[in-house]
Every structure is written in C-alpha cells, then in structure tokens.
Amino acid sequence: MTPAQFEKHIEPRWQKLEKLLTDVEYGKPREDVEELPATFRQVCHDLSVAQHRMSPQRLTQQLNALAIRGYRVLERHSSGGWEGFVRLFIVEFPQAVRKEWRLFWWFTALFYLPAVLIALITPSHPEWAMALLGPDGMAQVESMYGESSKPSDYVRESFGSGFAAFCFYIWNNVDIDFKTFAGGIVGGVGSLFALLFNALFLGAVFGYVHYSGNPMTLYTWVIAHGAPELTGLVISAMAGMRVGWSVLRPGRLERRAALVLAGRKALPLLVGAAVLTSIAAVLEAFWSPLNLPPVMKFTAGGLCWVVLAVFLIFSGRGQADAA
Amino acid sequence: MAAARADTLQPVELADGVEIQLRVAGPAVRSMAYTIDLLVRLGIYLVVWIAAIFLVLPGLGMELTAGLMLLFMFFMEWFYNVIFEAGARGATPGQRSMKLRVMSMTGGPVTLAQAVMRNFLRVVDFMPALYLTGIICMLFTKRFQRLGDLVANTVVTYADPPPAPVAVTEIRAERRAPAQVLTREEQAALLQFIERAPLWADERRIELAAVAEPLTQAPGVEGLRRLCGMALWLQEPEEKRGTPPPLKGAPLFRS
C-alpha cells in the first residue's frame, strides 16, 4: 500500500472519530456514540502505523491531535463531587494521618515542645518572648488578654461581626496552612520553618500573657478552636514534609516518581488540614467570643480535643484503604 | 529520528498502547499566558471591588463587606487556576488565549487533585521573585516542568497541532527507483524532503540534495531532480511493479 493509498484508506475512520468527538465535546452525543471507543482504538492503530511508516508529518500530526482529543474525552475523570470531597475528609484524611503516624508525632512534638519551652521561660526571661512578639504583638496581646480586657471586645472592635472575623480567619489561617505545605517541597525546610516559627510565636503569646496579662481569658478563648487550628497547622506541615522527604530520600524509586507519589499521599493531609482550619475559623469567630462561664468553655473546649482525637483515630477504619 | 530531538515533542505512551507526541510549551509562552491571567484577575478584582462598594457596602456595612472581600481574595488567589485547569478545557483564560493546555503526563486531562497540587506549589515556584525557581526548574527538565508540574505529574502543551506546511509548487520530476536499498529512516528523510522542498528556495534545495550525492550520483540540479524522482517513487511506486519499497540496506548518508 502506497502512502497515498494508506491515507485514503484511513480517512473515513478519522473523519468519523472527529465527528463523534465533536458531538461529545458539545455535550450532544448521538446514538452512534457507542462506536466511539472502537473508532478511537482504530485511529490509534492507524497512528501507530503512520508513525512506523513515517507518513507525512501532516498526517501523523493530525492523527496525533485526534488521539489526544479522543483520550481526553474517554479518560475524563469525575472528581466525585461533594460526595468525593466528604469521603476524602472523613475516610482518606484520617487514614493518611494514621499511616503517617510517625511523622505526625514528630511534628506534634516539634510544634508543642518549643512552644511550651518558650512559654515556660518567659515569666523569668521575658526578653525572648518580647523579641518574638515585637512592640505591635505585645500591644495586641495586652489589648486582648490584658488584666482588664477581653478578646471578644478586641475582636468586635476590629472585625465588627462574627462573620467578618470568620472571613479573616479563613483568609489568614488557611492561607498559612497552604503556604506551610508548599514550603515543604524544598526538602521540608519551608514546612519546618513555618511550624517552628508559629510554635515560638504561640509559646511567646502564652508566656507573655502569663507574665503580664490574664491567662484565664486566653485559655477560655483558645481552648476550643485551638484543637482543630493547631492540629491543622501540624498536619499541613506534615503534608509538606511528606513531599520534601521524597526529595531527600526517594528510597527505591526515581526521584521524579517518588515526588509524584508523595504528592498523592500529601493531598488528603492537605485537604484535611484546610478543613480543620476552616472549622477552627468557625469556632473562633462564633463560639470563642461568647461570654460563657469558664467551666462551660473548658468543657466544650475539652470536648473539641476529644472529638478531634476520636475522629483521627477511628474515622475511616474498616473502609477500603484509599491507597 | 534526529528531528525529534531538535523540537519540543515529547513521546507519551497512552494506556491504549499507542504513542502520542505532546508539544510542550516553554517558559516564554507560558509567561505570556500568566501575564494575561494576571490582567484577567486584576480585571475581576476591579469589577468585584466596584460592585462591592456600590451594591454590598450600603446593605451590609463596612466590616462585612471587607470580610467578604477577604474571602473572595482567598479563593481567587488559591483557586482561580485550579478551577479553570480542572475544567473541561484544561486551561485558564490566559492559557487558552495562548492556545495552551495543561495535561497530565499520562496524556489524559488534569484531575482536580493534580490541578490543586500544581497550583498550590506556585508559592515556591514564585520564589524569590517572578517565578525564578519555576523558570530555572523548567530549564532543567526536558518537559519544561516547574516544581508544581513535577509533583502533580503535569505538562503544559500546545492545544493545537502546528500549522502544516502547504506546498506551493508542483514537483515535476520523473519517477525513478533508488539505485540502492534504503532504510526506513532514509525513506522518511526523502519523504520529508519532498514534502518540504516546495517551501524552500532553489539554492537551498540543491544544497540539501548535494548531501545525498552518493545516492543520486549527480551534482547540482540533476542531483535534485533525481532525488525528487526517488522520493516520488517512494510515495507512489509505478503501478505495474507492485513491489513495496525495500526496507533495509546500506546507509545513504555519509557519516
């Protein structure tokens, strides 16, 4: 068969595929759409033959473009919609955290130990915390948790309403989560830095309030939303480290492949962290400013921590492993 | 094929076993697409801000409007690209205007997860300024992938095949069988020569035909004529002979 004959021979096939694809792409498939996969395979076969026979570039390029178009249509993924998203959070996220339990405890320790350390030394050596907070930070801490101030008053003054505060927390805190994750690709350095910086800052706030403020207002304020917010930060740093670690130690895989695999493993962690932080934003905006007796605040806050722990330990168990 | 190494075609094997060529896009055209996206985003911000000031502000008050705007900014900054790239066209408005498309390295469309991965890592690709990290990374990977592309396993490709060259003159040469047996690559070289020859000046045709002098056994215009004749023979051997062109044999080109 000469090249010209070959071209003429395959022409009806790719023209048919083109028509079928156009129908599907415009969302108006006709009855003959069932022939699409078979026609697609046939055109793929023609493309292979054309490539092997080194047919004119015009022909191979055209078939190549058609093969890509067809593949896009046939391999179209459905993201699973909201159901998929809920499953990602309820099943795959806790599974991923449990699978990476070593990393989780490492990062939990890396976060809380420096925080507790700096909080403990601040009453006797306040200069560390002061340096970390800076004059603006100290002024803000005073106005929120000072002897005669309440955080809810401060928040009402700066945001006006609970919803505005919620928007601010999403914009600020979830943004920090995402950036903490992204920084991880540099061998985990960015994630570690963000984690440690936030730990030191948090520790400094706690220490400084013990030093010069009213610790009770601080604890009643943060106990509830702290659970999802801090855990979200730790987990987003974990997700970043998951990716960074694959750069440092790809194991038996090629670095490129290890990176892709780590990205897939990190995604449920990242999404889970973002959802946790969003929940924290809701709590911080609507629950934390309520002026309730401390007993209620601590009970509810403790409950938050317990619910979170139960969720991470038990949710999604027995479900098929999302791999 | 030496030609494949000089262009930006990247072979990918589809799940169906067929190999396709992806024409990956380089930093320059992607930067232009990014700039257009930046302008589109600025435009959207401008419109929404004005709408917020005139429509939302009187009803909801300053704080609530500011809060809503923060929320809007958060979604624009993190999800503008994600939503467009995971959509049916696989391209942001900027990429579409530059005729680019984001594809999975498997040859299929980008999934939502991949779109999230490649765009969330923009923060790092941007460092220290103006996507320096991303551009350097692109220059060191053969598929022009920035860090986000590497993790998400995606490439940015041209959406359409390149414009095919159109022959402007008819070739008048007598069909003749090559004196030697030609390999598949050599046949392809001849076929591509005849396909492109109409686009060149005479001097260039003769210059290139001179390379094949060991085959044509003639210099200058006569060599070109014989070469074209052989190419025509490859395209359409005479009906009566019916023998397919020989497949293997001595190399045509001087090494």
d(Cα B72, Cα B54) in Å, to the nearest integer? 17
Restricting to B residues 20-39, those with a Cβ less than 8 Å away from any Cβ of A are 20-22
pLDDT exceeds 60 at position B158: yes
Answer whether B111 touches A (CB < 8 Å).
yes
| Residue, of A119 and B237, whose pLDDT is higher | A119
Nearest CA in chain A to B166: A58
Q: Does residue A167 contact residue B67 with C-beta atoms inside 8 Å?
A: yes
Give the Cβ contact number of residue A235 at 10 Å. 31
Question: Do B147 and B222 belong together in one domain?
Answer: no
Does B73 lie at the interface with A, CB-CB under 8 angstroms?
A: yes
Does B123 lie in the same domain as B43? yes
For residues B150 and B191, membership in a common domain is answered with: no
pLDDT tens-digit readout, B89-145: 889 999 999 999 999 998 889 999 999 999 999 999 998 889 999 999 999 998 999
Say if residue B184 is in the same domain as residue B148.
no
B86 touches chain A (CB under 8 A): yes
| pLDDT at position A198 | 94
Half-sphere exposure of residue A147: CA atoms within 13 angstroms, side-chain side: 2
Domain that holds residue B120: 2-158
Contact B236 A4 (CB under 8 A): yes
Q: Are residues B144 and B89 in the same domain?
A: yes
My answer on whether B91 and B28 are in the same domain is yes
User: pLDDT tens digit string along A229-247?
Assistant: 999 999 999 999 999 999 9
Collapsed DSSP state (helix, strand, coil) of residue B171 = coil
Same domain (yes/no): B173, B198: yes
Note whether B97 and B34 are within 8 A (CB).
no
In 3D space, the residue among A284, A272, A151 whose CA is nearest the CA of residue A209 turns out to be A151
- Render B101-148 in DSSP notation, one character per residue: EEEETTSSBPPHHHHHHHHHTHHHHHTTTTTHHHHHHHHTSTT---HH
Same domain assignment for residues B207 and B103: no
**pTM of the predicted model, to two decimals?**
0.85
Around Cβ A160, how many Cβ atoms within 10 Å?
16
DSSP A33-63: GGGHHHHHHHHHHHHHHHHHTT--HHHHHHH
Q: Quote ipTM for the complex.
A: 0.89
**Do B7 and B107 share a domain, yes or no?**
yes
Q: Which residue of A has its CA nearest to B116?
A: A267
Q: Say how many domains are in chain B.
A: 2
Same domain, B140 and B192: no
Tens-digit pLDDT profile for residues B201-242? 888 888 888 888 888 888 888 888 888 888 888 877 765 445
d(CA B5, CA A234): 46
Same domain, B211 and B149: no
Whether residue A251 is predicted with pLDDT greater than 70 in this model: the reply is yes
Please answer yes or no on whether B74 and A165 come within 8 Å at the CB atom.
Answer: no
pLDDT bin (cut points 50, 70, 90) of residue B252 is very low
Mark yes or no for CB contact A58/B195 under 8 Å.
yes
- The residue count of chain A comes to 323
* Residues B77 and B22 occupy one common structural domain: yes
Partner A contacted by B158 (CB < 8 A): no
Interface of B with A in 203-242 (CB under 8 A): 234-237
Q: What is the pLDDT of residues B47-87, one digit of tens each?
A: 999 999 898 888 888 888 888 999 999 999 999 999 999 98
CB contact under 8 A, B64 and A243: no
Residues of B whose CB is below 8 A from A260: 150-153
Count of CB atoms situated within 10 Å of the CB of B88: 11
pLDDT beyond 50 at B253: no
- Domain spans, chain A: 3-74, 82-314
Interface test with A, best of B20, B99, B106, B147 (most A CBs within 10 A): B20
Cross-chain residue pair A72–B109, CB shorter than 8 Å: yes
A240: nearest Cα among A319, A170, A176, A181 = A181
Neighbours of B49 (CB within 10 A): 13
